[in-house]
Chain A
Amino acid sequence: MRWLIRRVTRQAKSGAAFEEDIHYGDVLTLGRGADQAIFLPDLRAALAHARVTSISGGQYRIESLITAGVRVNGSIVSAITAGPGATIDIGTTRVQLLEPPRDYEAAVEVSQIDKAEIAAQERARAPKLTLSEAGLRKRLLSWSMFFVVLLIALGVPLFAHYFPSARPLTDRLPIASRGQWESGPLAASHHFFGRECTTCHEGGFSAVRDQACRSCHQITPGHADPKKYDMSLLGDDRCAFCHRDHNGVDALVRADQELCSDCHKALSKRGDKLPKQLDVSDFGSDHPAFVVTLPQWTAAGQYAPVRAALATEGIKEASGLKFPHDTHLNEDGIRGPAGDEKLDCASCHRPEAGGARIQPISFESDCQRCHLLTFSVRGADRQVQHGKVAEVGFAVQEFFAREALEGGFDQVDAPTVVRVRRRPGQSVTPQERAEALTWARDQATTTLDRLFDGQACSECHSTYRDEAGAWNVKPVRVTGIWFPRAEFSHRKHDTMTCVDCHPAATSTESSDLLLPDIDNCRGCHGGEHVDDKVPSTCISCHGFHTGPLVQHEARSAADTRKQNSAAIVTVK
């Protein structure tokens, strides 16, 4: 086999100089040994470094004879099959495989690698000694992260805000679109619309407006009557000033004492019309004694309740009723329809269905079992109606008129016509009838006198005769809600007994106010910051939104009702 070995002796831009050589043999050997077909005078070459074999199809087989391998086309290999054009680099020598010219079976070109190329190779293979040489780029990484975060956290949510039609798409993104802006969980009651930020937030750097709140909370009243009080004292009175959402499911309604005490700790000094009673800062240490609302009417009949401190000397409830609690709660019992029986509070006082308040006393269900309104032994099961004075008169007169006209009334001092028993259908003369009815009227008058003055009515009521001489009962005015400005629930206090707060067993007069003053409450309750009592803040008992409805458009009938109910003191 004939190998053409072309040695490049000089390389220049103008061209190269060659000298050609012929090698006979199947194998072309490369190395530093003197016996090699191509001699490489370079210590980086082994004595027998590699060999090239011409195989069929103009291909060459290159094999390394040392374990370090040989660099073919720039990469180290131990053996490879390559076609013409492949280069073998050993040290500074380059052997390029050629297409064999005519008369030859194989050909190679041997040249020295260009110095510039060697330098470039060395640079490329130079050790990478630092992270930046190893390809880490801080600047690129930094700006990439900056823009990626900015796009996701700012770009997408802003896009979703300004292009509502895109929201179905953006809201499905795993990055939650505007959801990632949510600073915390909404209040529980706002969850159902909370996904749509613009329900409350207009966007564009404006704070939530009251209008947004009122689109649902139309009938929430204000704090106090702005005609009476200067509401500018409240400072920022936007809804959102107090109601700060996105702070958890139950953090929307303020319960802290400072909500009130900020203004109320020295409220009376802030304006002329502000009563001292409203100066409060802490239930345990700075809260005035309780004030009750007592029902009262003007001479003209106008309802004009008065407010009076519980501690007022000689304070009485002018209910018009006579009711000694002590007698009814007597330890030894009290006479009942079936002998002596022992009563307790629950015998008469029952809570309302909700448990917060106590139902009003009703004569029929609470008194009449013992206090029968009978008036005649002949009709022992007949009672007059309670509460209707005129009806009582009619009932008694009709009873005696019937007795008189039917006859057979067995009483010695009665006229004959009344005493004589008549058959049914037997007529009486007009004279007899007049006589009988006169008797009946006398009987009715006597009975009514007895009922109203001594036997029945006056047991509990004050009775009097009016100008015409008819019996009447003074109106009953029992207080329904003593503390209309505060909320008290009996249900929450059901671990207590009634007498813990209401000294009924020693009360001899119905005009006694059996209500506890603040000291009684303070036995268990303290201000917000106590640790040995029940911490109670202002809104444990008082509401904030108890004033008139804040004026705004289109007040509905329901609004008006609610407003009125907040001001009216219920009188039963």
Chain B
Amino acid sequence: MHESIFNHAGLRYLWVSLTLLTGSVVAYLWHDPIGVPNGGTWLGYTLGTIAALLILWLMWFGIRKRRYSSSMGTLRGWLSAHIYLGTALLLIGLLHSGFQLGFNIHTLTLLLMFIVIFSGFFGVYAYVRFPSLMTRNRDSASRQAIIDEIHDIDQNSLVFADAVDPKIHATILRSIGRTRLGGGVRALLFPRDDSDSALDQVREYLDKRDAERRPGAQTRDMPTMFAMVDFLAASGGADNKNVQLRKLMDLLARKKSLSGRLSRDLQLQALMEIWLYVHVPLSFALLAALSAHVVSVFFYW
């Protein structure tokens, strides 16, 4: 069976986590503390120590994954343990708190921990789901190949457009100028399909021409394309330029398909990364909150 981050070493870390969780829950249920369950009982301190050490160890993953020469277990093993023990931390942290929540640094620590862990859950989902989506989306081409092809198409379209008419050349020029690959954070995460109005314009132009051949057909307000239609009508509609125009349309359709795939590819890539911008910075905030939490409870013991 294929070994993944989930079943690494025969589910070793799942069992470690389950054991830890079972032990914690049993101890919590068995424990009859002075007063109400809280972080200040011996079990509270024990669970808190375990949770704090787990947080430090989980954050060490960020260092370990950069140490390519490390021989301390495989990175896949580390990630497997990172996921399972991180999940276990949810409950251990809650049990440590004794479910006492308030408007204070202690609950902020718990809250940050929750956000970090749940963002990690999204990360797990992304790492499991998105690579196969990306592979299918790219259709066995590399990203750079897609970008190169888009550039080639741009060059070729200008050649074809130039052969047709200056107006169409200007349209294509504008289209190239407007083509945006990638972009800002928002554009990467939520791509808008405005990549190619040129294709729409050319296609509408052809539809328009067909429609005009049918009496009573609707016309739409497309001034630029009316000009192209006029031009093509004047040129007879079946000459060499018309062939060039159809080739141009094929190119534009290909470009639209490519840029659509590219933005989907970039979007998936961005989704696979964006959760880390929550996961990592908030885990640093968590580290600070944890330090304040630990110092404060012992400073005013």
Contacts and interface: CB of A to CB of B under 8 A. Distances in A.
Interface of A: 33, 43-44, 46-48, 66-69, 76, 127-136, 138, 141-150, 153-154, 157-158, 161, 179-185, 197, 201, 203-208, 241-242, 244, 247-248, 251, 254, 256, 258-259
Interface string B86-115: 000000000000001011111010000000
Interface string B189-230: 000000000000000000000000000000000001000000
Interface string B114-135: 0000000000000000000000
Contact of B273 (A131, A144, A254): A131
A211 to B, nearest CB: 15
Contacts of A47: 166, 169
18 contacts: A48-B166, A68-B173, A68-B178, A127-B182, A130-B182, A130-B273, A131-B274, A133-B182, A135-B184, A136-B277, A142-B284, A145-B288, A148-B285, A149-B292, A154-B291, A183-B39, A248-B36, A251-B36
B250 interface: no
A161 B106 CA distance: 18
A201 B298 CA distance: 10
B182 A68 contact: no
A131 B105 CA distance: 31
A242 B34 contact: yes
A254 B300 CA distance: 22
Contacts of A43: 155, 158-159, 162
A197 B300 contact: yes
A183 B102 contact: yes
B285 A203 contact: no
Contacts of A129: 143, 181-182, 188, 266, 269
Nearest to B298: A205
B253 interface: no
Contacts of B266: 129-130
A77 to B, nearest CB: 12
Contact of A68 (B155, B174, B287): B174
A154 B295 contact: yes
Contact of A206 (B34, B296, B301): B301
A340 to B, nearest CB: 60
Nearest to A65: B170
A133 B297 CA distance: 42
A146 B104 contact: no
B157 to A, nearest CB: 10
B166 A46 contact: yes
A44 B39 contact: no
B280 A142 contact: yes
Contacts of B54: none
Contacts of B184: 128, 134-135
Nearest to B104: A180
Given A131-B274, A136-B185, A183 B166 contact: no
Contacts of B106: 183
A208 B299 CA distance: 10
B300 A201 contact: yes
B299 A150 contact: no
4 tightest Cβ-Cβ pairs between the two chains A and B: A68-B174, A127-B181, A153-B292, A66-B170
A146 B291 CA distance: 10
Contact of A203 (B169, B274, B282, B300): B300
B51 interface: no
B36 A67 contact: no
Contacts of A179: 104
A247 B281 contact: no
